[in-house]
Structure 1
Amino acid sequence: MKSLAYYNGKYESILHSGCSEYNKSRQMAALMTDMEKQYKIPMLRNVEWEKDNRSTIALYRKISRSRSVDFE
């Protein structure tokens, strides 16, 4: 399993890259999808899961808030 340090490093790399905001947002969306699979992040908010996985959900939300383009 990839560590949270790995995901945070990837996040920082994307954030400080010279890519356009659109490309950064796409890369962050892909990073979030990878985290969802690795850590089995529930699609709907689950307070109990979040309580047991505070560091994971904190990083996931940090990445989400950094996205400037919404693809939906």
Structure 2
Amino acid sequence: MRKKSLMDFQREYEKIILSDQPRKDIELAALMAEMRKQFNIPVPRNEAWEKENVKVAAMYRKLIITRTL
């Protein structure tokens, strides 16, 4: 399976936010898990990693915010 670009994740995000609520949360959770795996996103939050990966961190944070609303 090829790695997705950050733009690929953005496109998927845009499709997901148009889904109905129960499905949206499930799909956002799956997208977040895929991003954590592909970009080695640390949990809990790591400021040093975020400074080195600003765009990835911003996209991931957008998923978190959308999912919790």
Query: Which residue of 2 is the match for residue 16 of structure 1?
Result: 18
Asked if 1:67 is matched to 2:67, the reply is yes
Percent identity among equivalent residues? Answer: 42
> 1:21 touches 1:68 (CA, 8 Å); kept in 2?
no
Asked if 1:38 is matched to 2:38, the reply is yes
Q: Decide which structure has greater helix share.
A: 2
Deviation by residue 1:39-69 (Cα, 9 ceiling, x = unmatched): 0000111111000000001000101111147
What stretches of structure 1 of length at least 5 have no aligned partner?
none
Structure with larger RCO (C-alpha < 8 A, sep 6+):
1
What stretches of structure 2 of length at least 5 have no aligned partner?
none
- Structure 1 runs of 4+ aligned residues shifted over 6 Å read none
> 1:22 touches 1:68 (CA, 8 Å); kept in 2?
no
Cα distance, 1:4 vs structure 2: 0.4
The count of aligned residue pairs is 67
TM-score by length of 1: 0.86
TM-score by length of 2: 0.89
